[in-house]
Chain A
Amino acid sequence: MRLLASLALQNLGRRKARSLLLIMAVAVASGVVFTGATLMRSIDSSMAVGFTRLGADMMVVPEGALTNITAALLTVEPTDLVLDQDLFARAGIASVGRAAPQKIARVEHSGIDSHHDSVDLIGFDPALDFTVRPWLVEKINRDMRQGDVILGAAREAALGSELLIFGKPHTVYGRLGKTGVGTHERGVFMTFDTFEALAGSVHGHGGGPPAVLQKGKVSGFLVELAPGATPLQARFAILSTLKGVKVVTGDSTMSGIRQGLAALLNGILALMVLMFTSTALMVSVLFSAIVTERRGELGLLKAIGARRGQIVGMMVIEAVIATGAGGVLGVALGVLVMRLYERSLVYYLENIGVPFVWLDGPRIVVVAAAAVVMASIIGALGSFYPAWRASRRDPYDLVRGEG
């Protein structure tokens, strides 16, 4: 094995330019595959989590809401439709563990952002909340009170500093960690009291304040199942007990986005398969030529007692070293490219409503390893057949240059 590997290495060193070109070609292919797969998996897992990432199993919103499915829904979509705040408290549904009410208003000209982007103001009930405060990464060392706000991860402001919302002073109480849920990361969170106090400043479509600013009205609930309850049970229980609501689970929220993305991802997948195949073909053509070129030497090796397995092994190892190196290089290039374009890519994806969080480190390592293994398999497949064919021939024929 060591002998074959060292022979293979020496053979690679003979035609440095050719070996380098081969490595580069495989690097490009596996770089594309690695980058594509990482992005696909990242998008996929980002979508799969959504509000489940925030700790909720499902969401209950007014019937008629959610016509426009975007990433904003991952919390609760700002809408004019409202539900009663004590809906769940009154109903007492056994399969529902916790139901955290949220008020959401998407406001413009609030003064929070210097430009005119809209901002999601999100009110929550500290007594029932389980999706906001678990994400606090820093906070002032006291209880939250009226006038305090918590900022999403995407917002910068020192703890304790003053934040004017519609000209009213608020105190930055804490900040959330990255959740990958767009509205969550750009949101400004506050208790219901603080939220309702803004009623005079926010104008709805009709001119008056939106219904959600009224006391006792909420945009929806994030629901956590009771231990042992299934989503299906909970869904039936909720729909049969409560009127005028709609239950959204992780899957159905995302299905719209998924369908749109599925086409794109399928395209990427097809491209990857094509790339894989053409690289495998290229390697096999190249190795047919290399085997022909080295026929005499292979014959000689057989003549002095190399077994067929050794001949094939030597050629396959040579190919695997080259394509494996290409794979490693490709992954490195992929990482580099993703680093370089990270900001614009994530910004773009979130703009079109795709929540995006990079795959976690271990998973990226798995994808990278898979890309390298795949590149090596290309080498093994591409070189095996020509080497195996040559190894069948009589050494004398090989040495004489036939076959």
Chain B
Amino acid sequence: MLSCRGLRKDYVTERGEVAAVAGLDLEIATGRYAAIIGRSGSGKSSLMAMIGGLSRPSQGQVTVDGTDIWSLSENALAAFRNKRIGYVFQFASLLPTLRLVDNVALPAMLGGDAGSSATYARAAALLGQMGLGGHLDAYPSEVSAGEQRRAVIARALINEPALILADEPTSDLDEQTEIEIMDELLAVNRERGTTLILVTHNLALAEQAEQIVHIAHGAIVA
């Protein structure tokens, strides 16, 4: 169960404060597939970052399974990001110096796993599942944008998170690839019961969701 209470994010700029998220209440039940839609600049990414523990709210709370995440200590919050959240960014987000399989195994290793063969087997299996079985040893620059995005999804899954946050994961990809990647995400949601929150401009994708959150000017519109 995810819940946001009175969530605000104000950015201080030279031209004054910008309220990217302006006092927002939201609840998403465990295992749900929720879609967040809204125009560019409406505050979707800011909201996702606060939910995922990546950006401290100016005000309000984010509670995941009863834990107020922004009241956690620095290290506990890092562990939360590591264990509970699988984040898929709007842009390419693999470390260029690591092979795909290392990138996928990285969250497990940061979490204290010694890089055992079991971790690598799991990373390889996830990449295989994403159709990248033949590219385990490839570096990010050696595969296509769509393949990179799939690797990011594999990485998001390595620690079996409770929550997958995908911020426009397919916006820069062709339609066929978009469908394939969405299928992967939805399969995880269905088969593993992982909560999936997806930001998208694609209304067709949003309509398949069990819950649609429409945001305008940092607030939910009915």
- Residues of chain A having any CB pair with chain B under 8 Å: 2-3, 7, 10-11, 13-14, 297, 300-310, 394-397, 399
Contacts and interface: CB of A to CB of B under 8 A. Distances in A.
B110 A13 contact: no
Contacts of A310: 110
Given A2-B115, A11-B97, A308 B74 contact: yes
Interface string B154-166: 0100010000000
Chain B interface category by residue count: 20 to 34
A296 B107 CA distance: 16
27 contacts: A3-B109, A7-B95, A7-B98, A10-B98, A297-B95, A300-B89, A300-B93, A302-B54, A302-B81, A303-B54, A304-B82, A304-B106, A305-B82, A305-B83, A305-B107, A305-B110, A305-B111, A306-B82, A307-B78, A307-B110, A308-B78, A309-B75, A394-B55, A394-B56, A395-B55, A395-B81, A399-B89
Nearest to A299: B54
A307 B75 contact: yes
B54 A396 contact: yes
B110 A3 contact: yes
B54 A395 contact: yes
Contacts of A303: 52, 54, 81, 87, 89, 93
A307 B130 CA distance: 28
Contacts of A395: 54-55, 81
B187 interface: no
A10 B81 contact: no
A305 B81 contact: yes
B121 interface: no
Interface string B61-96: 000000000000011001101110001010001011
A300 B54 CA distance: 10
A232 B183 CA distance: 94
Contacts of B107: 304-305
Contacts of B111: 305
A335 B77 CA distance: 50
Nearest to A311: B78
B49 interface: yes
B110 A306 contact: yes
Contacts of B52: 303
Contacts of A394: 49, 54-56
A394 B79 CA distance: 15
A399 B54 contact: yes
Contacts of A301: 95, 110
Contacts of A302: 54, 78, 81
B56 A305 contact: no
Identify the 10 closest CB pairs spanning chains A and B, nearest first.
Answer: A305-B82, A396-B55, A396-B49, A10-B97, A396-B54, A307-B78, A395-B54, A304-B107, A305-B81, A394-B55
B115 A305 contact: no
A396 B89 CA distance: 10
Contacts of B56: 394
Contact of A305 (B79, B96, B97): B79
A304 B97 contact: no
A226 to B, nearest CB: 66
A303 B161 CA distance: 13
A302 B80 CA distance: 11
A19 to B, nearest CB: 13
A304 B109 contact: no
Contacts of A309: 75
A170 B22 CA distance: 107
B115 A304 contact: no
A2 B74 CA distance: 23
Nearest to A304: B107
Contacts of B155: 304
Contacts of B81: 302-305, 395
Contacts of A11: 97
Among A301, A306, A396, the most chain B Cβ lie within 10 Å of the Cβ of A396
A57 B111 CA distance: 65
